[in-house]
Structure 1
Amino acid sequence: MKRCSEQPSVTNRQFSEDSRITVHSKPGVPAAGFSSKRETPFSSCQKWDCLFQGGCTPACGPTQVGGHRGVEKRKVLKPGVFREEPEKVELLRCESSPVDQTDVSVTSRCPGLYCGRLLVNGSVEGECGVCPRGERANQEKVCERCDESPELYDWLYLGFMAMLPLVLHWFFIERYSGKKSSSALLQHVTAALECSVSALVTLLLTEPLGLLSIRSCRVQMLSDWYTMLYNPSPDYVHTLHCTQEAVYPLYTIVLIYYAFCLVMMMLLRPLLVKKIACGLGKSDRFRSIYAALYFFPILAVLQAVGGGLLYYAFPYIILVLSLVTLAVYMSVSKIQSFKTLVAKKKRLVVLFSHWLLHAYAIISISLLDKLEVALPLLALVPGPTLFYIATAKFTEPSRILSEGSSGP
């Protein structure tokens, strides 16, 4: 730090307690009848501040005269005649010691939640800004590489986002495949193969390359998914852009997976459908593919806009949707007893698929942290099915209408 010390002035001066300075001129200079002293206003702040740049500057005090900072004195020649004679009253001598301005700028914290400085060879360098992909600003606002493995909840979230296109594929294949069950079955298998291969390729291309494991940054709060909304403005004029993937790679890996799914579908499905769906018209056989061309962009936008909300809400979304779709399917299929339930293999496949979704949602909510608590919850998976079959006969619309018409 710089130190400022006072150098004795070249004239006699007297500082008053009421923060005013009285300056005496040299003897014999003023003419008769004129005062030999005048009071020059001086503020209560008589200290001088030493800044890191620009030398010594007064926080408040006399003006600068003749290239020096001092008090301006007027010398009286004769009545009515004045000549400006700048005279240096006080000088400040600054004894400076070397100050590392880099250390001063580095030790200051970066503004915002996600701005940081780069760490190069163990030293912090550069200005505050966005961290490279795969890194995140720590508590000291230094960009730090993310080397942690995803938690169980993170893998469950990725599994949910991977299931969405597969479930939609199966739904539209079942809807547009017609009555030819063999054609629908092959398309179901092909859709599962497409999604599986896409998932493997996505994992292999994510760091570390060539491995079925990924490194990630831990999700700490909802704002980690929307860093573009938290760019700081230190001076309220200029914005410091620090938008980054703070949840690396949970945000982009899903979009990459959807892109591979779309490519694999366009490579495999048209040839398969053309050979096995001969019973359908030319416009009908490709409807499931056309539907995929619509729902893939919708899924991409859903991930880009609502990825953070889905991350926290997907267990409850799975649980509610699986319950609703199972009830709708059993109602449409007119399943009111165990005998009608096991009459067709297809119904059992749909039932077990929904049971798996129930279990997936329960595991995502409980995370199996305590087995003695989570395992009894898995016993509730068949509960909705049993409840539906037990109460279906009481809610049959035809029975309600017949009882209403036969009333008094």
Structure 2
Amino acid sequence: MSLDYCPGRYCGRLLVNTTAGVPIWGECGACPSGFRVNMEYHCSQCTGKPTLFQWLYLGFMATLPLVLHWFYLLHKHTEWKKNVAIQCGFAFIETTLAAVFTLLSFEPKGSLSLVTCSVQQISDWYTIFFNPRIKFVETVRCSQEAVYPLYSIIFLFYLFSLALMLFLRPTLAARFLTSEADKKKCNVAIYAALYFHPILVVIHAICAGLIYYAYPYLTILATMTGLAVYAVYWDMKVSRNVDFSLIFAITMCFCLQKPKDVFGEHRVQNIFIILWHLTTLAYSIIALGNAYTTSFTYTSFAYLAFVPLPLLFLLLTEQCTDPNHITVETGGMPL
């Protein structure tokens, strides 16, 4: 049924009642949560399912606190020790539980699935800027969550993540960390999270739409930059004995090495971080391959063959960029 025109891109009419089989519609305004205006200018309930690209977007946003937790822990601890692994495990448990509780809180409630409204254009994320002004005098308030629940669900996730961290982290630390120094470092990590959680909330509130369309590219850029920076930093400033060629061989062909060789000094941390970078790179490639389709496609899996290429390039060119070679050639002392 076509109704009278509603001004603005996101203004619609909500069905109020039905009298003698005739629907009665309300005034033009914002659609309630879980509804979106259609081409007939009335608010229709959203019944769609998230696409793979949208699930990957939610996963990207959910892993941001986890990555920041891990980055802070690995940055503050120059050696991979048991207490570091335990605290990284704490962060993973908190993030996983927060994601589960968040999904259970949205429709259909009690289920890990979601009901979503379709995302058609970037303005769907910023409906507050599209409230129409009638004759430049009266403003019709039509701001709403047109991308339900992709916008609000992240705020609830961050709330759960922060609450679980404040509740579980001290409890688990008291149970599994025996050293007072380790417990103190764990408390410092909690203080750091109290800073970056609000920052993530503000970034999402302002840039949610931009991140939605750009997160695969951001992931690729961050992954390749992070891999290169970590390799140079670790190789130069922590231990010149770390052989990245050996690490790559161990990662790709684990069965060729003895376990005691694999889990030697510093190698566990190197393998963990390299595998994490390769995983995120594969994640972003799959997201790009499914960015412009509403159904799952296997085509993007063919591009996963390119995932090891940045690491291979880094390994093959490592000798050419060794600062010691440059220093010796210029007559200086080697590093």
The equivalent of 2:258 in structure 1 is: none
The equivalent of 1:324 in structure 2 is: 225
The equivalent of 2:268 in structure 1 is: 345
Distance 1:386 1:222 in 2: 37
What do you get for the CA RMSD once the two structures are aligned? 2.1
Unpaired stretches in structure 2, ≥5 consecutive residues: 236-241, 251-261
The answer to whether the Cα contact below 8 Å between 1:336 and 1:392 also exists between their aligned partners in 2 is no
User: Are the structure 2 counterparts of residues 165 and 108 from structure 1 closer, same or farther at C-alpha, using a change threshold of 3 Å?
Assistant: same
Query: After TM superposition, which residue ranges in structure 1, 4 or more long, deviate above 4 angstroms?
Result: 177-180, 340-343
Distance 1:277 1:399 in 2: 45
Report the Cα offset of residue 351 of structure 1.
1.1
User: Are the structure 2 counterparts of residues 207 and 340 from structure 1 closer, same or farther at C-alpha, using a change threshold of 3 Å?
Assistant: closer
The answer to whether the Cα contact below 8 Å between 1:178 and 1:280 also exists between their aligned partners in 2 is no
- Cα shift readout 1:173-231 (whole Å, capped 9, x = no counterpart): 22335757111111111111111111111111101111111101000000000000000
User: Are the structure 2 counterparts of residues 227 and 211 from structure 1 closer, same or farther at C-alpha, using a change threshold of 3 Å?
Assistant: same
Report the Cα offset of residue 270 of structure 1.
1.6
Query: Partner letter of residue 86 of structure 2?
Result: L
The answer to whether the Cα contact below 8 Å between 1:176 and 1:287 also exists between their aligned partners in 2 is no
Distance 1:390 1:212 in 2: 44
- Cα shift readout 1:68-96 (whole Å, capped 9, x = no counterpart): xxxxxxxxxxxxxxxxxxxxxxxxxxxxx
Report the Cα offset of residue 152 of structure 1.
1.1
The equivalent of 2:168 in structure 1 is: 268
Distance 2:325 2:243 in 1: 13
Match of 2:15 among 110, 119, 130: 119
Distance 2:304 2:3 in 1: 52
The answer to whether the Cα contact below 8 Å between 1:322 and 1:357 also exists between their aligned partners in 2 is yes
The answer to whether the Cα contact below 8 Å between 1:135 and 1:144 also exists between their aligned partners in 2 is yes
Query: Partner letter of residue 292 of structure 1?
Result: A
Does residue 362 (structure 1) correspond to residue 258 (structure 2)? The answer is: no
The answer to whether the Cα contact below 8 Å between 1:183 and 1:277 also exists between their aligned partners in 2 is no
Distance 1:114 1:145 in 2: 14
Q: Whose Rg is larger?
A: 1
Does residue 145 (structure 1) correspond to residue 45 (structure 2)? The answer is: yes
**1:229-308 → structure 2 map (5 Å cutoff):** 229-275=129-175, 276=177, 278-280=179-181, 284-308=185-209
The equivalent of 1:310 in structure 2 is: 211
Distance 1:405 1:340 in 2: 32
- Cα shift readout 1:241-263 (whole Å, capped 9, x = no counterpart): 00100000000000000000000
**1:5-404 → structure 2 map (5 Å cutoff):** 107-120=3-16, 121=18, 123-177=23-77, 179=79, 181-275=81-175, 276=177, 278-280=179-181, 284-334=185-235, 337-339=244-246, 342=250, 344-367=267-290, 370-371=297-298, 373-404=299-330
The answer to whether the Cα contact below 8 Å between 1:336 and 1:393 also exists between their aligned partners in 2 is no
Distance 1:283 1:265 in 2: 15
The answer to whether the Cα contact below 8 Å between 2:33 and 2:144 also exists between their aligned partners in 1 is yes
User: Are the structure 2 counterparts of residues 190 and 218 from structure 1 closer, same or farther at C-alpha, using a change threshold of 3 Å?
Assistant: same
Higher relative contact order (CA 8 A, sep 6+): 2
Give the paired residue count: 301
The answer to whether the Cα contact below 8 Å between 1:322 and 1:358 also exists between their aligned partners in 2 is yes
**Structure 1 residue matching 2:26: 3-state secondary structure:** strand
**Structure 2 residue matching 1:144: 3-state secondary structure:** strand
The answer to whether the Cα contact below 8 Å between 1:114 and 1:137 also exists between their aligned partners in 2 is yes
User: Are the structure 2 counterparts of residues 107 and 281 from structure 1 closer, same or farther at C-alpha, using a change threshold of 3 Å?
Assistant: closer
Distance 2:107 2:178 in 1: 40
The answer to whether the Cα contact below 8 Å between 1:147 and 1:217 also exists between their aligned partners in 2 is yes
Query: Partner letter of residue 393 of structure 1?
Result: Q
Report the Cα offset of residue 151 of structure 1.
1.1
Report which of the two has the higher share of helix. Answer: 2
**Structure 2 residue matching 1:286: 3-state secondary structure:** helix
The equivalent of 2:256 in structure 1 is: none
Distance 1:279 1:347 in 2: 27
Distance 1:277 1:235 in 2: 69
**Structure 2 residue matching 1:387: 3-state secondary structure:** helix
The equivalent of 2:259 in structure 1 is: none
User: Are the structure 2 counterparts of residues 178 and 397 from structure 1 closer, same or farther at C-alpha, using a change threshold of 3 Å?
Assistant: closer
Distance 1:395 1:179 in 2: 25
Query: Partner letter of residue 383 of structure 1?
Result: L
Distance 2:329 2:131 in 1: 66
